[in-house]
């Protein structure tokens, strides 16, 4: 499996609010044998996740999802117990400073003991996969890398994102849009750029989980498009009176369905093409009976196309039962591309420069622009500065 298979899902005409366009995805029949439920976490939403390999993942985690493959569809309650992190500083006052609760979670995906249910943190599985990309750092002790890089790798690694309620217009759009009968997901566009895809196995699950979209994380590019983008045109369909005319309700219904098919073909062929035609690297996270939970990374190609990371639950035929994606910014794509090229050349800067068809100084500049300059040895930065002055 290298691509996302949305077989069984059909698009419906889009709904528009300002610069936000939502394309509903409906199923003729729900996915049998799998249900999703929300597990709400109290407090600020800040959580630290123990990954089990002496590393941790910290982010805004307002809720988890519980995948139930028993067929009962009953979710589990939230875990209890929180810690606190100091918020602000108090000098000379009495009492403890205000605190932001920090929730401790064990693993990004964990099976409920004695049950056929899996609790996982939606979208954070995918984000951790991106952050862990070549996390170990240089595999060979080259002189170009600092002791920190050789000893700690890329730790700590951080990326910025926006909560959905901070994306202009998104919260209002999700509040007023109507849900279609059989709706099991959506494709979310901002300024007609695909921002995210969300798919669940059952319409009842979608009705419960639809509000969680405003609490999801969205990339910097999506926020910029929402902030600066203009209003997008609404979906319109015009039925023309052709040869023979429309004389009955059956004729009108057939013409309307033809317009719906034309919209679906245009959407699948243009608006969602990059998402569906990209070849991804899938990593299985957990097997749940006839279903598999994966996270995936794009190829990080510098060809100008949109690229997404995400999570996917597939059935035994590889069809998507659950999907959630996060669109990467151009800077994040460049960082992923650079890390893979470095790893392909055993982190040797001269060899990487030759592979990229550029100079040693340019590779160093790209490393610094990607926010990884602190991993370089001091003499490397000095060499680049000297070559720049001489050039």
**Residue spans of alpha helices (H) in the chain:** 124-131, 147-152, 170-176, 203-209, 220-228, 249-266, 273-277, 330-344, 349-356, 360-369, 378-390
As a whole-number percent, the residues of the chain with pLDDT over 70 amount to 87
- Give the per-residue pLDDT at 75: 41
- Give the per-residue pLDDT at 45: 80
Can you tell me the mean pLDDT for 101-124?
85
Domains of the chain, residue spans: 1-86+99-234+252-342, 348-390
- Give the per-residue pLDDT at 86: 45
- The residues, any chain, with a CB within 8 Å of residue 269's CB and separated by 6 or more, are none
pTM to 2 decimal places: 0.86
- Give the per-residue pLDDT at 379: 83
When the pLDDT of each residue in the chain is averaged and rounded to a whole number, the result is 86
**Is residue 286 within a helix (H) or strand (E), and if so which, with residue range?**
strand 281-288
For residues 202 and 182, what is the distance between their CA atoms, to the nearest angstrom?
Answer: 8
- The string of pLDDT tens digits covering residues 60-106 is 999 999 999 976 544 433 333 344 444 444 444 455 555 556 677 87
- pLDDT beyond 80 at 343: yes
Name the one residue in this structure whose structure tokens are 């609490």: 215
- The string of pLDDT tens digits covering residues 250-301 is 888 888 888 777 777 766 656 788 899 999 999 999 999 999 999 999 999 9
- The string of pLDDT tens digits covering residues 60-71 is 999 999 999 976
**CA-to-CA separations, 354 to 335, 361, 389, in angstroms, rounded:** 18, 12, 22
pLDDT interval class at 42 (50, 70, 90): confident
Mean pLDDT is lowest, of 16-25, 110-119, 255-264, 343-352, for 255-264
DSSP single-letter state for residue 210 = G
More confident residue, 140 or 234: 140
- Give the per-residue pLDDT at 95: 53
- The string of pLDDT tens digits covering residues 11-20 is 888 899 999 9
């Amino acid at each position: 499996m290298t691509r996302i298979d949305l077989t069984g899902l059909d698009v419906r005409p889009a709904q528009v609010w300002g610069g936000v366009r939502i394309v509903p995805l409906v199923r003729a029949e729900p996915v049998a044998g799998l249900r999703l439920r929300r597990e709400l976490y109290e407090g600020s939403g800040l959580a630290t996740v123990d990954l089990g390999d002496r590393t941790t993942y910290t982010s805004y985690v307002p809720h988890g999802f519980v995948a139930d493959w028993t067929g009962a569809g009953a979710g589990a309650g939230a875990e209890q117990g929180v810690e606190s992190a100091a918020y602000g500083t108090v000098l000379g006052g009495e009492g403890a400073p205000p605190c932001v609760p920090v929730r401790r979670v064990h693993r990004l995906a964990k099976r409920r003991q004695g049950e056929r249910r899996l609790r996982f943190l939606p979208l954070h599985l995918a984000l951790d996969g991106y952050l862990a990309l070549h996390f170990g750092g240089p595999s060979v002790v080259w002189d170009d890398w600092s002791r920190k890089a050789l000893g700690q790798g890329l730790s700590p690694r951080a990326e910025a994102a926006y909560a959905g309620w901070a994306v202009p217009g998104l919260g209002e759009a999700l509040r007023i849009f109507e849900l279609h009968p059989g709706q099991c997901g959506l494709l979310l566009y901002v300024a007609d750029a695909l921002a995210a895809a969300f798919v669940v196995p059952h319409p009842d699950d979608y009705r419960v989980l639809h509000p969680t979209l405003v609490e999801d994380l969205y990339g910097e590019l999506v926020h910029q498009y929402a902030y600066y983008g203009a209003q997008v045109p609404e979906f319109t369909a015009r039925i023309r009176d052709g040869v023979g005319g429309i004389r009955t309700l059956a004729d009108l219904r057939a013409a309307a369905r033809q317009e719906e098919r034309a919209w679906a073909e245009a959407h699948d062929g243009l608006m969602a093409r990059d998402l569906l035609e990209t070849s991804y690297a899938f990593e299985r996270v957990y097997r749940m009976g006839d279903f598999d939970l994966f996270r995936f990374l794009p190829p990080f190609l510098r060809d100008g196309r949109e690229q997404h990371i995400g999570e996917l639950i597939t059935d035994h035929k590889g069809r998507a039962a659950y999907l959630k994606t996060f669109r990467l910014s151009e800077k994040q794509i460049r960082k992923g591309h650079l890390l893979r090229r470095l790893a392909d050349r055993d982190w040797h800067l001269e060899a990487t420069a030759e592979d990229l068809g550029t100079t040693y100084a340019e590779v160093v500049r790209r490393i610094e622009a990607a926010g990884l300059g602190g991993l370089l040895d001091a003499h490397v930065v000095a060499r680049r500065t000297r070559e720049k002055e001489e050039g």
